[in-house]
Amino acid sequence: MPSPIHLHTVADLLARDHTLQLHCLRCDRWRKAPLEHLATQGLADRPITALRFRCVRCGSPAQRQLRPPELPPASGTGWMEWPPRASPTATDSEPGRRIQRSRY
């Protein structure tokens, strides 16, 4: 079983390409936390729970939301064939016998 990842500090988020989104309930605004800027100011080892962010527009405290890295786009179309093809229950070598299809 793989070991869990720990995302406690700013450096942990940067090392695993996670982002910290900030939401202001009063303004209904979303912004990305400047993790790289915080790390260059010596706050890389600071726990995420100790960071306090405020909205630049109204000054109210921001809600934090941790987001994983974005996935690459899928290579296929993403569509499944429906209804699925039914497999015949009789073989073609038996003449005169009807091929029954399974119900779906």
pLDDT in tens, 28-76: 999 999 999 999 999 999 999 999 999 999 999 999 999 999 887 766 6
Give first-to-last CA distance, the chain, whole Å: 37
Residue 92 in any domain: the answer is no
- Residue 2 to residues 5, 12, 70: CA-CA distances in angstroms? 9, 18, 21
Domain count of the fold of the chain:
1
Distance CA 57, CA 27 (A): 8
On whether residue 33 sits in a domain, the answer given is: yes
What is the per-residue pLDDT across 71-90, written as a single tens digit (0 to 9) for each? 877 666 666 666 666 665 55
Determine the structural domain holding residue 55 and report its residue range: 10-67
Looking at residue 43, its pLDDT comes to: 94
How distant is the alpha carbon of residue 27 from its chain centre? Answer: 25
pLDDT at 97 over 80: no
